[in-house]
């Protein structure tokens, strides 16, 4: 179905190829997972499948890519729309209509599909992806996760033979991600669709993959093979695989169910070890940084937040969790002063953020939104860093140093739009984190970041919190919450339904529990590092 033959691709101003001598065949009815570190070339490989590389990106392509016998050299991307559906890292960028149902119909209309067939396919897709309640909604009013499901639905409706997805679950809550991946698996098994996807949250995807393609980066040869085999050697691996390495399990398990079968001896070895203890919110009388009192926000008839009361203290790392559309991003935007509440009050260090002048506001609050590109205006990475230093009164090089801490190796001469999604996010975070304002608001801060990058980000956030900042994360990344959060606030339909010590909130939730917690239950361990430390402390290090 998909064949790469001696493919080498080099971006226009790059010194070395991103892809070099790639030979790869992906069969019909296969779910192929593409993995690799941030910026390694995964998106480039995916874009080459339908000819966006090089027809849209420019650059030099040697060799040949063919889809169902059609060469992308000879057939432009628009003429492959009946064969290949592509969902990029920024789903909203692909929208061309105003409402959900119109977006689902758009490509089919352009392909001349009969109206009765269009109607049936739209209904099937609405049911498949759980979108039926959103069919009449305006796209701009949807949450990031809801937009992601609509974008997937829009490319599914024309019934392509190949589906290419870049970070398809990055903005989805755990339950929605599992539903989408299960739906894709049904299409692979029942219809014979070929699915190729790149994903950094591997803990969600590896149980579904038939094969894995590891992109090492720097033009090195791809590593292709069965999922367990490649995961056993991959430098980027989900917690369940890292736990297997610590415990010495061979072969590595690919699901929580398989890991639990291995884990009983490990649980017994750790049963007498001291339990890790999370920080208690407000412990020690931490100073108040921000507060919401009776906060309600409405978008027309939609109530996004409903009578929310919340206090945020210095030194806390607060994870705001909940299903897609529960109000997480709206809550962060209120604390950032992007709009005034419909009812109630919001304050940051005793001041209303919506009433502050921009220059005064950025000294108090830093926000990284779901689309980090809205913060980037410079002609190069270096320009962005130097401008940020100048505008926030930092010493020259401070923002660049923060960028190197979060994600080393981002080229200073590269235009921000030419960066990968993870690199763009790291740049936006460096700009916001470097001045260390008292309140930091990060909306899905790990989209596009690999596991080593997340580890570095955790270190930065813990250091900022230790310095007195209050860090608030709106996230679906339960592994990040387990690593860094001291407190978890769960929203549902705009209301706070849970607020407490993060490790207790996530540990007892079947939806928000991280992989290690599920494998080690009823023991209290949440992360691989906790297990490793406990093994060393008990004299059982492997």
Token match 């064949």: residue?
Answer: 3
Which pLDDT tens digit goes with each residue over 427-446? 999 999 999 999 999 999 99
Measured CA to CA, the distance from residue 395 to residue 434 in angstroms comes to 10
Mean pLDDT for the chain? 91
Domain 2-243: assigned CATH number: 3.40.50.300
Same fold, 2-243 and 288-501: yes
Measured CA to CA, the distance from residue 193 to residue 29 in angstroms comes to 5
Token match 């529960």: residue?
Answer: 326
User: Would you call 409 helix, strand, or coil by DSSP?
Assistant: coil
In this structure, what token pair is assigned to residue 312? Answer: 């945020």
User: Would you call 20 helix, strand, or coil by DSSP?
Assistant: strand
Measured CA to CA, the distance from residue 360 to residue 537 in angstroms comes to 48
What pLDDT is attached to residue 88? 84
Distances, alpha carbon 268 to alpha carbons 448, 535, 540, in Å:
37, 11, 11
Identity of the highest mean pLDDT range in 174-188, 412-426, 464-478: 464-478
Which pLDDT tens digit goes with each residue over 473-531? 999 999 999 999 999 999 999 999 999 999 999 988 888 999 999 999 988 899 999 99
Whether residue 175 is predicted with pLDDT greater than 90 in this model: the reply is no
Q: Alpha carbon 252 to chain centroid distance?
A: 24
Distances, alpha carbon 338 to alpha carbons 67, 103, 388, in Å:
45, 28, 20
Measured CA to CA, the distance from residue 236 to residue 198 in angstroms comes to 13
Query: Which residues contact residue 525 at a Cβ distance below 8 angstroms, ignoring those fewer than 6 apart?
Result: 270, 276, 516, 517, 531, 534
What are the extents of the domains in the chain?
Answer: 2-243, 288-501
Token match 């049936």: residue?
Answer: 120
CA-nearest of 357, 474, 355 to 345 is: 355
Strands 288-299 vs 19-26: parallel, antiparallel or unpaired: unpaired
Cβ of 257: how many Cβ atoms within 10 Å?
11
What pLDDT is attached to residue 281? 46
b/e map 18-31, b = 16+ CB within 10 Å: bbbebebebeebbb
Whether residue 425 is predicted with pLDDT greater than 70 in this model: the reply is yes
H helix intervals, 367-514: 381-392, 398-406, 421-433, 451-466, 478-484, 502-507
In this structure, what token pair is assigned to residue 524? Answer: 């209290």
User: What CATH architecture applies to the domain 288-501?
Assistant: 3-Layer(aba) Sandwich (3.40)
**Upstream peptide bond of 93 is cis (omega within 30 degrees of 0):** no
Measured CA to CA, the distance from residue 291 to residue 312 in angstroms comes to 6
Residue-level length of the chain: 542
Distances, alpha carbon 534 to alpha carbons 15, 422, 469, 505, 528, in Å:
46, 32, 30, 22, 10
User: Would you call 183 helix, strand, or coil by DSSP?
Assistant: helix
Which pLDDT tens digit goes with each residue over 113-131? 999 999 999 999 998 888 8
In this structure, what token pair is assigned to residue 516? Answer: 């290690």
Which pLDDT tens digit goes with each residue over 290-316? 999 999 999 888 899 999 999 999 999
Starting at the edge strand that comes first in sequence, how are the strands of the sheet with 302-313 ordered? 302-313, 288-299, 343-348
Distances, alpha carbon 87 to alpha carbons 9, 185, 450, 539, in Å:
21, 17, 20, 49
418 confidence band (pLDDT: 50, 70, 90): confident
User: Would you call 156 helix, strand, or coil by DSSP?
Assistant: helix
Measured CA to CA, the distance from residue 267 to residue 522 in angstroms comes to 9
Token match 């409405």: residue?
Answer: 298
Report DSSP state, residue 14: -
Whether residue 3 is predicted with pLDDT greater than 70 in this model: the reply is yes
Whether 297 and 330 have beta carbons less than 8 Å apart is answered as yes
Which pLDDT tens digit goes with each residue over 235-273? 899 999 999 999 999 889 999 999 999 999 999 888 878
Residue % of the chain over a pLDDT of 90: 67
């Amino acid at each position: 179905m998909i064949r790469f033959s001696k493919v080498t691709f080099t971006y226009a101003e790059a010194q070395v190829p991103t892809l070099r001598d790639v030979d790869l065949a992906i069969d019909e009815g296969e779910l192929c997972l593409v993995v690799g570190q941030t910026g390694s070339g995964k998106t480039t490989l995916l874009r080459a499948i339908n000819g966006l590389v090089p027809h849209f990106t420019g650059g030099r392509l040697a060799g040949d890519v063919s889809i169902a016998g059609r060469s992308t050299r000879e057939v432009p991307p628009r003429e492959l729309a009946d064969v290949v559906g592509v969902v990029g890292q920024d789903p909203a960028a692909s929208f061309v209509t105003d409402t959900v149902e119109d977006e689902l119909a758009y490509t089919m209309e352009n392909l001349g599909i009969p109206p009765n067939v269009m109607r049936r396919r739209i209904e099937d897709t609405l049911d498949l992806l759980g979108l039926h309640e959103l069919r009449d909604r305006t796209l701009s009013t949807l949450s990031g996760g809801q937009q992601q499901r609509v974008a997937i639905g829009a490319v599914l409706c024309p019934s392509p033979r190949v589906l290419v997805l870049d970070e398809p679950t990055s903005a989805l809550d755990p339950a929605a991600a599992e539903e989408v991946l299960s739906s894709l698996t049904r299409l692979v098994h029942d219809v014979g669709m070929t699915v190729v996807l790149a994903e950094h949250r591997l803990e969600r995807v590896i149980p579904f993959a038939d094969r894995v393609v590891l992109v090492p980066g720097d033009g090195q040869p791809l590593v292709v093979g069965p999922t367990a085999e490649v995961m056993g050697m991959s430098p980027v691996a989900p917690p369940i695989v890292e736990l297997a390495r610590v415990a010495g399990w061979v072969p590595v398990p690919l699901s929580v169910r398989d890991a639990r079968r291995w884990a009983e001896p490990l649980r017994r070895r750790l049963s007498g070890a001291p339990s890790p203890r999370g920080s208690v919110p407000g412990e020690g009388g931490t100073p108040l940084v921000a507060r919401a009192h009776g906060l309600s926000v409405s978008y027309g008839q939609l109530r996004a937040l409903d009578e929310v009361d919340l206090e945020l203290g210095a030194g806390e790392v607060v994870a705001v969790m909940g299903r897609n559309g529960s109000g997480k991003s709206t809550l962060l935007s209120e604390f950032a002063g992007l709009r005034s509440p419909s009812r109630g009050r919001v304050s940051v260090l005793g001041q209303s953020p919506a009433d502050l002048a921009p220059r005064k506001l950025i000294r108090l609050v830093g926000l990284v939104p779901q689309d980090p590109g809205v913060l980037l205006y410079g002609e190069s990475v270096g320009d962005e860093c130097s401008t940020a230093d100048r505008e926030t009164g930092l010493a020259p090089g401070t923002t660049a140093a923060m960028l190197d801490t979060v994600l080393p190796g981002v080229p200073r001469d590269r235009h921000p739009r030419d960066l990968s999604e993870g690199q763009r996010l790291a740049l936006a975070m460096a700009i916001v984190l470097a001045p260390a304002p008292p309140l930091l608001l990060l909306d899905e801060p790990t989209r596009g970041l690999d596991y080593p990058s997340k580890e570095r980000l955790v270190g930065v956030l813990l250091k900022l919190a230790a310095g007195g900042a209050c860090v608030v994360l709106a996230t679906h990344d339960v592994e990040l919450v387990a690593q860094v959060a001291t407190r978890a606030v769960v929203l549902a339909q705009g209301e706070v339904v849970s607020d407490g010590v993060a490790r207790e909130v996530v540990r007892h939730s079947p939806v928000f529990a991280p992989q290690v917690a599920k494998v080690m239950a009823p023991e209290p361990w949440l992360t691989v590092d906790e297990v490793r430390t406990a093994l060393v402390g008990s004299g059982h290090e492997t």
